[in-house]
Amino acid sequence: MLQRHTMLSLTKLLTLGLVPSVLAVGCGKDDPSDPGVSCACDCTAQDPVAHCVRTQDCSTTADCPAGTVCADLPARLAGQAFPDAVGSDPLASCGAQTPARRCQLPDGPSGRQALITGFEVPMFRLLRATSSGPVAFTWTAPEETHIVHCALFACPPVVVESVHDGRTVYQIANYEPCVMASNLFEPGEGVFDLGDGSIVFSPASGATCGGASARVVRELLAGCWAYDKSKVIAATPLEPVTPKEIFGYHDQFDLGCASGIDGRTCELPDESLGVCWEGVCRAPCVTGQDCLAYEEAEEPDGGADAGGEAGVVPLACVKTGAYVGVCLPPSAVRGEVLR
């Protein structure tokens, strides 16, 4: 009988190029002889890596576009049709129309134990190194550690089991879509420095499935896991970090939207992460429900010169060809801001 934590040797994994993602390939394929991403899925997001999605009946967050997580629907929405949003959303109907779970914006911080519970291993801790610059982490690796692998995730990692060559292996199913930076430490000690631009992670998958959409980042999480000579033996809790604490990997971050480039990650007044749109940091949304907490002062039709009074209006969820949109005032929608 196979041992539950049995894995391929690290040497073979390195030869196959699989250690960083442990068989992380797109669209649910687990064939290392064909590492490319299949474009045969019914629904594919490319944000930035092409991967299959099921936005309307997801099983895990690995089924979701960037910036969203798979979660139970709020009671008020259970069994209802997908709430309306303005604009083009090619992924709005991927899956069942009255599901119990959908890809939604995260409601608060993600669980910090994803690597520990996913790999089913004991915990070791990350320690923030004292520094006035970008954040860096150190650790004390467990005994028998040969390699420690660390990564900066832009979405919660999903660890699943699979079988390769008759052996049980673990994979971080959404490694390529989620990881922004990574580093291997052999032997298993060192400093995971998130101010180091050289550790940027460049996905191996080169397939394209339709037009790429902006990568939406709602949280940043740092985590590490340790290998002995053949398997994962321990993992750390995920540590939240902010864009101000890291190198600007992949030109993803523009906290004040000064560049004028749409789709970059910015910081909202409440210090949560938003999306740059037309030079303004906007709240992200999947449905109109996500914009109910936001409102904006706006002049009535015809402007103040027409004798009307300025008022406060709720924002609408506007999709621009991607699953995650931005909350905009009705005047922007009427002004055909979509493109």
The predicted-structure confidence for 199-245, as pLDDT tens digits, reads as follows: 999 887 666 666 667 899 999 999 999 999 989 999 999 999 999 99
Task: Tell whether 212 and 321 lie within a shared domain.
Answer: no
Q: Could you tell me if residue 4 is inside a domain?
A: yes
* Pair 152, 249: CB distance under 8 Å: yes
Q: Could you tell me if residue 299 is inside a domain?
A: yes
Query: Which of 198, 229, 252 is where one domain is finished?
Result: 252
Kindly state the percentage of the chain with pLDDT values over 70.
77
Q: pLDDT tens digit string along 48-79? A: 888 899 998 899 999 999 999 999 887 776 66
Q: Could you tell me if residue 203 is inside a domain?
A: yes
| Paired tokens of 64 | 């979701």
| Paired tokens of 265 | 């990650």
Q: Could you tell me if residue 72 is inside a domain?
A: yes
When mean pLDDT is compared across 32-41, 89-98, 176-185, 281-290, the lowest value belongs to 32-41
| Paired tokens of 74 | 């709020």
pTM to 2 decimals?
0.83
Residue 30, Cβ neighbours under 10 Å: how many? Answer: 15
CA distance 86 to 76: 21
pLDDT tops 50 at residue 339: no
Task: Tell whether 246 and 270 lie within a shared domain.
Answer: no
Region 144-172: mean pLDDT is 91
Three-point CA angle 38, 114, 322, nearest 5°: 45
Q: Which residue range is the domain that position 282 belongs to?
A: 265-334
Contacts of 130 (CB under 8 A, 6+ apart): none
Predicted confidence at residue 39, as pLDDT, reads: 67
Predicted confidence at residue 1, as pLDDT, reads: 29
Query: Which of 192, 221, 252 is where one domain is finished?
Result: 252
Q: Could you tell me if residue 339 is inside a domain?
A: no
- Dihedrals φ, ψ of 131, to 5°? -165, 150
Structure confidence at residue 15 as a pLDDT band (50, 70, 90) = very low
Task: Tell whether 293 and 193 lie within a shared domain.
Answer: no
CA distance 149 to 163: 21
Region 280-284: mean pLDDT is 96
Task: Tell whether 199 and 287 lie within a shared domain.
Answer: no
* Of 218, 178, 287, 211, the residue nearest 44 (C-alpha): 211
Structure confidence at residue 27 as a pLDDT band (50, 70, 90) = very low
Q: Please give the single-letter amino acid code of residue 206.
A: G
CA distance 268 to 44: 29
Task: Tell whether 269 and 176 lie within a shared domain.
Answer: no
CA distance 131 to 189: 18
Predicted confidence at residue 273, as pLDDT, reads: 96
Predicted confidence at residue 8, as pLDDT, reads: 42
* Pair 324, 286: CB distance under 8 Å: yes
pLDDT tops 60 at residue 338: no
Predicted confidence at residue 143, as pLDDT, reads: 93
Task: Tell whether 163 and 221 lie within a shared domain.
Answer: yes
Q: Report which of residues 171 and 7 the model is more confident about.
A: 171
Q: Report the b/e string of 139-173 with b at 16+ CB within 10 A.
A: bebbeebbbbbbbbbbbbbbbbeeebeeeebbbbb
Residue 116, H or E segment: helix 114-119
Total tally of structural domains belonging to the chain: 2
Three-point CA angle 253, 258, 260, nearest 5°: 90
CA distance 194 to 25: 25
Reduced to 3 states (helix: H, G, I; strand: E, B; else coil), residue 330 is helix
pLDDT tops 60 at residue 95: yes
Task: Tell whether 210 and 231 lie within a shared domain.
Answer: yes
Of 82-86, 137-141, 287-291, give the range with the top mean pLDDT: 137-141
Reported in sequence order, the residue ranges of 105-158 that DSSP labels E, i.e. its strands, are 126-128, 136-139, 147-153
Region 307-315: mean pLDDT is 69
Q: Could you tell me if residue 83 is inside a domain?
A: yes
Predicted confidence at residue 194, as pLDDT, reads: 97
Q: Could you tell me if residue 326 is inside a domain?
A: yes
Task: Tell whether 190 and 277 lie within a shared domain.
Answer: no
Predicted confidence at residue 298, as pLDDT, reads: 64
- Dihedrals φ, ψ of 304, to 5°? -65, -30
Task: Tell whether 297 and 231 lie within a shared domain.
Answer: no
Task: Tell whether 154 and 241 lie within a shared domain.
Answer: yes
Predicted confidence at residue 79, as pLDDT, reads: 64
pLDDT tops 50 at residue 12: no
Predicted confidence at residue 309, as pLDDT, reads: 58
Q: Could you tell me if residue 277 is inside a domain?
A: yes
Query: Which of 205, 223, 252 is where one domain is finished?
Result: 252
Predicted confidence at residue 254, as pLDDT, reads: 96
Task: Tell whether 247 and 309 lie within a shared domain.
Answer: no
Q: Report which of residues 157 and 311 the model is more confident about.
A: 157
Region 143-159: mean pLDDT is 96
Task: Tell whether 176 and 320 lie within a shared domain.
Answer: no
